[in-house]
Amino acid sequence: MKVKYNLLKKTGNCNARLGKLETNYGVVDTPMFMPVGTRASVKGLSPDEIKECGSGVCLANTYHLWLRPGEDIVDYCGGLHKFMNYDGPILTDSGGFQVFSLVKNKERDITEEGVHFKSHIDGQKLFLTPEKSIEIQNKLDSDIAMCFDECPPFPVTHEYMKKSVDRTLRWAKRCKEAHKNERQSLFGIVQGGEFEDLREYSCKETVKMGFDGYSIGGTSVGEDKETMYKMIDYGIRYLPEDKVRYLMGVGDPLDILEGVERGIDIFDCVLPTRIARHGQAFTRTGKINFNNAKFKKDLGPVEEGCDCYCCKNYSRAYIRHLISVDEMFGGRLLSIHNIRFLIKLTEEIREAIKEDRFLEYKKEFIEKYTSNNK
């Protein structure tokens, strides 16, 4: 079954929207945050633990699973859902972001046919094409596959970005033609960098191809916040309202709020688990760092009122101890808290949209979240 997006409500004073996404593995509410399971596992956490956090869709990475264990192994094991024992919807990215980060010479290594690069594991020479990316994702059998696109760095010239967008559009057509898994939906990706005319062009041409959903790509690649928000604004107005909209690689709470205001439905990012492994946690009053000795005798939870497993069972003093001795359980507990924090944020956002008070909720959240920075 292809995913189906149902728009339930739009706010009157901005573009925030409430919806439901029907998938092969149930219906999920939007806006939502997706935990990232790069290698078919959210770092350190079991599928049951991320489900307890309220997870709907989970993301897995095509590039990493292609290299290890290989798409044929995952296929032999019954596809990603059985392989990782996750009974919710799964989205696979195309591998493009990882591949382009490994390219040494973009003029030489990025060709019309595909991309030449070396494995980050052993330096083996590899070549990934749009067709190969889709073939891998078809075998992984995720619910949603992503087109293979060129991921330009920031900044680049308008001339380079135009060539890149045109190549991404040609690759999108090839991805659509190569896609053979009837159970799997395929999302198109909009590029264009910071250039308004190219974002419009990319959106309109991608929409003409008729994908099951659309992603805004090329953000979080080194640009400042205001530029990122403009990138969203420049393209999203040309996306159809009856298709789901996905902002790739964005997981900062403030960025999620800005994205929702602009009409984004889905977010993903490694941020909650990455900062957890470094001893940091999201709270309503901003991030806190458990490397700080002030938490040594703090008997309170990471955050008062939080309903996650970590906050219901452990003190800040214990978390501080685990982080200070480099005990992996500390990173696991903070990962649970941080993922739950972002999912709870989207739950509250949905409730605010439903009650026509999203902008008020956003203002209140930002004031509290940034209060320690003033």
- Do residues 271 and 256 lie in contact, with contact meaning Cβ atoms separated by under 8 Å? no
- B/e letters for 257-287, b = 16+ CB within 10 Å, e = fewer, are bbbbbbbbbbbbbbbbbbbbbebbbbbbeee
Q: pLDDT tens digits for 44-82?
A: 999 999 999 999 999 999 999 999 999 999 999 999 999
Name residue 89's amino acid: P
Model confidence at 155: pLDDT above 80: yes
Q: Is 44 exposed, middle or buried (0-12, 13-18, 19+ CB in 10 A)?
A: middle
Catalytic residue among 93, 149, 252, 265: 93
CB 228 within 8 A of CB 267: no
Question: d(Cα 109, Cα 186) in Å, to the nearest integer?
Answer: 26
Distance (Å, whole) CA 50 – CA 330:
16
Q: Is 265 a catalytic residue?
A: no
Q: Is 268 a catalytic residue?
A: yes
Q: Is 332 exposed, middle or buried (0-12, 13-18, 19+ CB in 10 A)?
A: buried
What pLDDT does residue 103 have? Answer: 86
Helix, strand, coil percentages, rounded to 5, for the chain: 45, 15, 40
pLDDT of 107 higher than 80 = no
* pLDDT tens digits for range 304-337: 999 999 999 999 999 999 999 999 999 999 999 9
Question: All domains of the chain, ordered by start, with CATH?
Answer: 4-269 (3.20.20.105), 276-373 (no CATH)
Q: Round to whole Å and give the CA distance between 42 and 57.
A: 12
Model pTM score: 0.97
Q: In which region does residue 95 sit, left (phi positive, over 0), alpha (psi from -120 to 50) or beta (all else)?
A: left
Q: Which runs of consecutive H residues, i.e. helices, occur in the chain?
A: 47-52, 62-67, 71-76, 80-84, 96-102, 106-109, 130-140, 158-178, 196-209, 225-236, 253-262, 271-277, 309-313, 316-324, 328-354, 358-369
Q: Could you tell me which residues come within 8 angstroms of residue 14 by beta carbon, excluding any fewer than 6 positions away?
A: 261, 262, 358, 359
Question: What DSSP state is assigned to residue 183?
Answer: T
pLDDT at 357 over 80: yes
- The C-alpha atoms of residue 114 and residue 103 are separated, in whole angstroms, by 12
Selecting among 149, 252, 265, 268, the annotated active-site residue is 268
